Amino acid sequence: MRLAKYLFKRLIIVFITLFILVSIVFLMFRVIPGDPVSMFIDSGLDAESQQLMMKLYGLDKPIPEQYIIYMKNLFRGDLGNSFTYGKSVVEVISERFLNTLVLTLTSLMIAFTLGIKTGSFLAWHRNSKIDLVGTILALIVRCAPVFWTGMILLSIFAFKLEWLPLGGMTSVGQNFTGFWDKILSLDFLKHLILPAITSALYSMATPTLLMRTSMLEVIKEDYIELAYAKGIPEKKVRRRHAMRTALLPVVTIFAVQAGLAIGGSVLVETVFRWPGMGREIVLAVSSRDYPMAQGAFLFIGFATIVFNLIADVLYAYLDPRVSLG
């Protein structure tokens, strides 16, 4: 019951945030330099035709009116048509978005599972050589650019050893009956491994180092001493008492990282020719496909908000001290 109330409150906040998000995205695209018309409307056309085109896209109306129209369409789930694809933006983006989501969630899952375990392991062996080496390694991996790690992995596993494909999401000539059929196929998984590992390596340092610091704090707590005094075996003390409590800040960072990863997937997607959102944004911006870019930004913003909501709920579940009122 309290959880339901808490959720309701969170959802209201989510809606307010969404409203602000769409308004900012709308305004941003009216303020930034560059003219959508110039790209789409041939300057060779006569003034009258140009006016006609402007009217067709509603660009002749004053900005407040454009805003109202934009909001209305948004509520109907209409983000306009892409200039380059000629298809509806929602249609193009949802497919790309799913591709990105699959890649991002896979890599984040790898990164956080390994990161949490490594971080707690390092903290448990604090001040030892393993701790030192591990921490330095985490920092190095964190500093290595994604395209560089990606290229190295590609050159070893795809080019030299030929174990894995060079890029793309599926092999040419494959036929799939649907989304699930595709992402559960062996062919897809083979394509997924390298990009997922590349971006997992990059994302892993944050949870590792955060978990390590958090564990170091928790280990000093009196309830850890009591757990030992209670005669609880060391493994259980570590898992049940130390890791469980140390996990809390890591959960918060998960939401932030997930949002960042979806927005920042452009490098991995470019290196591995992954047909996702990141690549689409770059394409849309460089080809001045305004509705497309606008839609892409909205999707990323939306995803970030949703992940934050998930983190909030998870946090409330994990930490009883968070008041659900």
Partner 1 sequence: MTLLDVQKLSIEYRLSDGKLRAVDQVSLKLESGDVLGLVGESGCGKSTLVKGIINLLPSNGRIIEGDIVFEDVVLNKLSKESMRKKRWKEISLITQSAMNSLNPVYRVGDQIAEVIIEHEKVGKRSAMEKAEELFDLVGLDRGRLQDYPHQFSGGMKQRAIIAMSLALNPKLIIADEPTTALDVIVQSQILERMNNLLKGYSGSMILVTHDVSVVAQTCTKVAVMYGGKIVEYGDVVQVLKKPNHPYTMGLKNAFPSLIGEKRELVSISGTPPDLSKEILGCRFAERCPFVIERCKGMSLEKTEVENGYFYCIRHAEKEELRKRADLPETWESEV
Q: CB of 112: closest distance to partner 1 in angstroms?
A: 19
Measured torsion, CA atoms of residues 152, 155, 161, 165, in degrees rounded to the nearest 10? 110
Asked whether position 91 contacts partner 1 by CB under 8 A, the answer is no
* CA gap 203, 142 in Å, rounded: 7
Q: Identify the CA nearest to 266 among candidates 284, 248, 253.
A: 284
- Two structure tokens written together for 270: 């470019």
If the CB atoms of residues 213 and 245 are measured against partner 1, the closer one turns out to be 245
- Two structure tokens written together for 302: 């939306």
If the CB atoms of residues 45 and 130 are measured against partner 1, the closer one turns out to be 130
- Two structure tokens written together for 254: 């998960």
If the CB atoms of residues 9 and 244 are measured against partner 1, the closer one turns out to be 244
Q: CB of 208: closest distance to partner 1 in angstroms?
A: 22
Judged by CB under 8 A, the stretch of 191-199, 203-211, 257-265, 316-324 that binds partner 1 is 316-324
Asked whether position 318 contacts partner 1 by CB under 8 A, the answer is yes
Q: CB of 323: closest distance to partner 1 in angstroms?
A: 10
* CA gap 102, 92 in Å, rounded: 16
Q: CB of 258: closest distance to partner 1 in angstroms?
A: 23
Judged by CB under 8 A, the stretch of 16-24, 97-105, 261-269, 317-325 that binds partner 1 is 317-325
What DSSP character marks residue 324?
A: -
Q: CB of 213: closest distance to partner 1 in angstroms?
A: 18
Q: CB of 218: closest distance to partner 1 in angstroms?
A: 10
If the CB atoms of residues 286 and 323 are measured against partner 1, the closer one turns out to be 323
Q: CB of 236: closest distance to partner 1 in angstroms?
A: 8
If the CB atoms of residues 146 and 246 are measured against partner 1, the closer one turns out to be 246
Q: CB of 4: closest distance to partner 1 in angstroms?
A: 19
Tell me the site size for partner 1, rule CB under 8 A. Answer: 20
Asked whether position 311 contacts partner 1 by CB under 8 A, the answer is no
Specify whether the CB–CB gap between 206 and 192 falls below 8 A: no
Specify whether the CB–CB gap between 272 and 194 falls below 8 A: yes
Q: What residues from 207 to 246 belong to the interface with partner 1 (CB under 8 A)?
A: 221-223, 225-233, 236, 241, 244-245
Burial, 138: exposed, middle or buried (Cβ in 10 Å; 0-12, 13-18, 19+)? buried
Distances (CA, A) of 107 to 197, 201, 253: 6, 8, 15
Q: Which residues are CB-neighbours of 125 under 8 A, at least 6 positions away?
A: 131
Judged by CB under 8 A, the stretch of 22-30, 51-59, 91-99, 314-322 that binds partner 1 is 314-322
- Two structure tokens written together for 105: 């969630």
Q: At 81, phi and psi to the nearest 5?
A: -105, 145
What DSSP character marks residue 88?
A: B
Q: At 309, phi and psi to the nearest 5?
A: -65, -45
Q: What residues from 243 to 262 belong to the interface with partner 1 (CB under 8 A)?
A: 244-245
- The residues that touch partner 1, with contacts defined as CB under 8 A, are 221-223, 225-233, 236, 241, 244-245, 318-321
